Amino acid sequence: MQAIISQIMTEHMNVTFIERIKSGQKLLGMVATLPCPELIEGLVKCGFDWLWIDMEHAPLSLRETQQMLQATHGRAHGLVRVPACDPVWIKQVLDLGADA
């Protein structure tokens, strides 16, 4: 059973977040504001398709955001709201591996 779930998750992650939205899939997600990679791992194991990491309303550093994105292990899309509409912030967060 675990192998089947892993295969399904891998197949979904080969498709971008935008492609999944455009295809009309219903995706389940959650906002994360606590700098806790273990929490992110737990949420991913619960089956969330995406996690919205909110740097604007939470005091998250780039390092904490990176750890949170890494905690998804590629099994959930990581979306990040940057603290300011600044190309530098956007580029840094995308370089960390955020999907959007």
List the catalytic residue out of 12, 57, 73, 77.
Answer: 57
Whether 57 sits among the annotated catalytic residues: the reply is: yes
Question: What CATH number should be reported for the domain holding residue 71?
Answer: 3.20.20.60
Count of structural domains, the chain? 1
pLDDT at residue 76, as a whole number: 92
- 59-88 mean pLDDT: 94
pLDDT at residue 87, as a whole number: 95
Average the pLDDT over each of 15-19, 22-26, 78-82, 93-97 and give the range with the smallest value.
15-19
Domain of residue 64: give its range: 2-96
**Token digits of residue 58:** 């939470």
